[in-house]
Amino acid sequence: MLLLNIKDIQKSFGGLKALSNISLNVREGDIKAVIGPNGAGKTTLLNIVSGIHQPDHGEVVFSGEKITHLSPTAVARKGISRTFQHVELFGNMSVLENVMVGQLAKAGYGFVASGLKLPFVQREEGEIQRKSEEILDYINLANRKNEYASNLPIGDQRILEIARALATRPRLILLDEPAAGLNMRETRNLGEMIRKIRDELQITIVLVEHDMDLVMEISDSITVLNFGEVIADGTPLEVQRNPEVIVAYLGDEEEIPRGYSAHT
């Protein structure tokens, strides 16, 4: 089943065309990677899907509903959550409180009711804490729930960001370079967590990432951008064999996945 349909998206900033006629599909239950060199337009595309930027042309359809011009809050309520290139946790709040913030976005009460501590608010806040603790247990951070988020190593901070995204009960999570700054062990753990979330929670993933080993290992399909245009779309093997991709992205020896050969 098609969950996300991006149709002919165009976006310019001043005289710079960031995206030109971008179209791609994401099937429900897939891990879809979007890759490309720096400046290819990957994060801009995620910003448009999540409502941070508005496209100049084209539309975004999620679960059969056009969401192109919705606010980020409205997009989140439709069932799309995301993380960012740079960790954006509340460092002076606890690990548990960071996850609770994600759930509060869907709480059924407003600021006044919360300030008055009405009985139904206290019950719901108790339920939010319980569910947040369950999420932390699921991602193996329950033993650190009372620590400041800023005290976690970067690998755990990345996982905590994903936990906060999970707290909104999404159908789709957009991950923007989640492996940035991670070592090999942390990246391996991250890949296992992403697959676990897809397989066990049935949450679809769109992954923007530069770590090609991670991308090739966990992705069901890959779209490649270069200079704001789609130059390839297919399975990891099809993308590895695409000559345009090799020139535009995999041509740098350091970026080629281990064991990759252009002649395989």
- Domain definitions of the chain by residue range: 2-88+164-255
List 206's β-bridge partners, or say none: 32, 174
How far is it, in rounded angstroms, from Cα 171 to Cα 258? 32
Angle between helices 119-138 and 154-166 (to 10 degrees): 130
pLDDT above 90 for 165: yes
pLDDT at 127: 85
In this structure, is the dihedral angle defined by the CA atoms of residues 34, 235, 231 and 11, taken in order, positive or negative?
negative
**Section 63-69 average pLDDT:** 96
Residue 84 one-letter amino acid: F
Contact 40, 228 (CB under 8 A): yes
Hey, what CATH class is 2-88+164-255 in?
alpha beta
Where residue 248 falls among pLDDT bands split at 50, 70, 90?
confident
Q: Which residues of 127-141 are buried (b: 16+ CB within 10 A; e: fewer)?
A: ebbebbeebbebbeb
pLDDT above 90 for 231: yes
pLDDT at 106: 57
Element (H, E) at 57: strand 57-62
Instruction: State pTM to two decimals.
Output: 0.86
Q: DSSP secondary structure string, 127-168?
A: HHHHHHHHHHHHTT-GGGTTSBGGGS-HHHHHHHHHHHHHTT
The Cα-based distances of 56 to 31, 39, 227, 236 in angstroms read 27, 18, 17, 31
What is the per-residue pLDDT across 95-148, written as a single tens digit (0 to 9) for each? Answer: 999 999 877 665 544 443 444 454 555 667 788 889 999 999 999 999 999 999
pLDDT at 124: 73
pLDDT at 249: 59
Contact 103, 156 (CB under 8 A): no
How far is it, in rounded angstroms, from Cα 94 to Cα 72? 25
pLDDT at 238: 94
How far is it, in rounded angstroms, from Cα 165 to Cα 99? 8
Where residue 262 falls among pLDDT bands split at 50, 70, 90?
very low
